[in-house]
Structure 1
Amino acid sequence: MRYELTDLRLFQAIADAQSLSGGASATHITASAASYRLKNLEHAMGTPLFVRNARGMELTPAGETLLVHVRELLLGVERMHGEVGRFSAGLKGHIRLLANSSSLNGFIIPSVSRFLAANPDVNIDLEERASQAILTAVAAHEADIGILAGDFDTTGVRSVRYAVDELILAVAADHPLAREAEVRFGASLAFDFVCMSRTSSNFLFLRDMAQRAGKSPNVRLHAHSFDAVLSLAEAGVGVALVPRSVAAAALREARVVGVRLAEPWALRELNLIVRADGKLPGFAAAFVQFLLNDPRVAATREGGAVAATAP
């Protein structure tokens, strides 16, 4: 049974891309070379690892079993390099971080910026996903770190409290809701909304909460950033459901008015998760501590989101 670490990296890349050409591109080799290496790996394993069909490359049961071991093996190799790399100059490595929109826009981006500036040999693949998708990906070893909101089953992951935030309604100063200190979410659905994109975790959460209230939000416009959503709310186009951390600057500058929601789900506890065994390369473990120790983030755990980000 002869194969190389390169073959295993290629196998994982093909599985992730569900495409031979996609896997080849991710590992920087030609499609013909990728095909040759995959055939060599299948020959060494004595069984097909993929089924080729119109949808692309799908793992066989043997391939799914191998993928679990390959992820474990490659993570161990990366962890080995990280541990040894600490004896050379600085941290080196690649981290995959998944986060929901609230944590991503409210807390993570500033922390990531400072960490990358201080560690030029570390790269971070940062992606927004819904909380349940983040949980699944980290448990399956498809991501190193996840930050998500709400209650969840911790099977397959290790969780630590990351930050506390609050969902509020951002409205224009002359909006009827601006006179209210607090409202029920169902009552706010009588007004037009402006929202993040249809695929964003923020909008999907808003839609789900509206369905629980037996209503459907009238969305006048979907925007691709919280800054755009807040600008639209400021202009009176509609109501925006946003994290207080994201709206903090707009609230301080009185560009919008923040209206609290009389809902138990409005107070959002954000949790940081890693795989159940907690094993991370040295550079990734250092990044986790950097995220947790960010003073602005830590302040929300101590004093609560409202005290930490109030205008």
Structure 2
Amino acid sequence: MRLFKAILEAQNLSLGASAMNMTASSASYRLKNLEYAVGSDLFVRTPKGMRLTPAGEVLSRHTQKLLGDVEAMHLELSDYSRNLKGSIRLLANSSALNSFIIPSLARFLVANSSINIDLKELDSPSIVSKIEDGEADIGVVADQAPFHHLLSELYAVEWLVCVVAPSHPLAANKEISFTQTLEHDFVSMERHSSNFIFLENQARLAGKALNVRVHAHNFSSVLHLVEAGVGVGLVPASIAEQAVLEQRISSISITEPWATRNLHLIMKKESAEIELIREFADILLHDPQVVAARAIYPQPGAASDGFAL
């Protein structure tokens, strides 16, 4: 959102990128991702510079207030986060963990030396069960898992993309169905990872087998193997972003609706009544990067000021 604002003020992509201390190619990629997310072009290029489209006008009206609210929330939450003490059990699926949770936790833990986090990755249905049974305090799950009986807030929105080596036959496509990708060899996360479990289930529903040549232990390894031409991968767009910018891999949109997923932060009512857990949940919900991810997909049910009891 800050990049969008910078381009708008400069009326020029390169100048906007410079104001954000990034290269023009990086800014262009991020802008394309934002336009893909909202489903419409935001700017048109004219001899006098970049001008907003009607969709861009709508986004512009909300951007300044959003950025101001994010900064205000960040300052307000940091005032009391420094006083938190204790230990929290946090579960997340692989997409949430790598795209949002790890960056948020890094910032939070550096600023809060008196809090320890017991962090584990599980698939979304298992996380719901653990929360229900009181074996964890907070969970972040995809909306495919039923959790209506638990307290929940929209946490972030992420989308899965197909990544391939630039020389791969699929690289020329701008979008592709998951069924089409199943005609090719895959590089996937480990068998117990929530990412692999999810993709294997989608392949089963499509009536096809997921032919995995190798299971890698993290997304970085998946991207490295994809770059080498071992196979195709399905990863969160944010994970692939840097490698795509460096033109080491190509990113292709997946046409299935499930490729775009709402991630929800869930907990039991009893957990939300514990001040430490409730305040930590609010800090996760209002991390600036997470707020920006939600803002790309404005919708009913977006995170409020916190969990209402």
User: What secondary structure sits across from 2:131 in the alignment?
Assistant: helix
Question: SS of the residue aligned with 1:120?
Answer: coil
Q: Write the distance in 1 (CA, Å) between the matches of 2:144 and 2:213.
A: 31
Q: Secondary structure at the match of 1:191?
A: coil
Residue 114 (structure 2) aligns with: 121
Q: Equivalent of 1:195, from 185, 188, 193?
A: 188
Which of 210, 213, 217 in structure 2 is aligned with 1:224? 217
Which residue matches 2:226? 233
In structure 1, C-alpha distance between the alignment counterparts of 2:101 and 2:248, rounded to whole Å: 23
Cα deviation 1:22-64 (Å, max 9, x = unaligned): xxxxxxxxxxxxxxxxxxxxxxxxxxxxxxxxxxxxxxxxxxx
Number of the residue aligned with 2:268: 275
Q: Is the 8 A contact 2:244 2:251 kept in 1?
A: yes
Amino acid at match of 1:150: D
What SS does structure 2 have at the residue aligned with 1:163? strand
Where does structure 1 differ by over 6 angstroms across 4 or more consecutive aligned residues? none
| 1:207 lines up with 2:205 in the alignment | no
Residue 100 of structure 2 corresponds to residue 107 of structure 1: yes
2:231 is equivalent to residue 245 of structure 1: no
The one-letter amino acid paired with 2:226 is A
Structure 1 equivalent of residue 173 of structure 2: 180
For residues 98-118 of structure 1, give each alpha carbon's deviation from its aligned partner in whole angstroms, at most 9, with x where no partner exists.
000000011100111111111
1:55-76 deviation line (CA, Å, top 9, x unaligned): xxxxxxxxxxxxxxxxxxxxxx
Percent of residue pairs identical: 48
Distance 2:244 2:207 in 1: 30
Partner of 2:282: 289
CA contact (8 A) 2:96 2:140 kept: yes
Supply the AA of the counterpart residue of 1:191: H
Query: Could you tell me how far apart the structure 2 residues matched to 1:191 and 1:278 are?
Result: 45
Q: Cα gap change, 1:207/1:169 in structure 2, threshold over 3 Å: closer, same or farther?
A: same
Q: Distance in 1 between matches of 2:115 and 2:193?
A: 27
Give 1:96's aligned amino acid.
R
Partner of 1:168: 161
Q: Which one has the largest radius of gyration?
A: 1
Specify every segment of 5 or more residues in structure 1 that has no aligned partner in the other structure, as ranges.
Answer: 1-85, 306-311
Tell me if structure 1 keeps the 8 A contact 2:155–2:265: yes
- Provide the secondary structure at the position in 2 that maps to 1:126: strand
Measure how far apart 1:278 and its partner are.
5.3
In structure 1, what is the equivalent of residue 36 of structure 2? none
- Cα RMSD of the aligned pairs, angstroms, is 1.8
1:255 is aligned to: 248
Contact kept in structure 2, 1:107 and 1:245, CA below 8 Å: no
Q: Greater CA deviation, 152-161 or 184-193? A: 152-161
Secondary structure of 1:147 counterpart: strand
The answer to whether the Cα contact below 8 Å between 1:139 and 1:276 also exists between their aligned partners in 2 is no
Q: 2:31 corresponds to which residue?
A: none
After superposition, give the CA deviation of every residue in 1:180-212 in whole Å (9 maximum; x if it has no partner): 011111111111100000110100111111111
**Matched position secondary structure for 2:272:** coil
- For 1:136-193, what per-residue CA distance to the aligned partner results, in whole angstroms no more than 9, with x for missing partners? 1111211110001023333441010000000110111111111001111111111110
What SS is found at the alignment partner of 1:159?
strand
1:45-64 to 2 correspondences below 5 Å: none
Which structure 2 residue ranges, 5 or more long, are not aligned? 1-78, 299-309
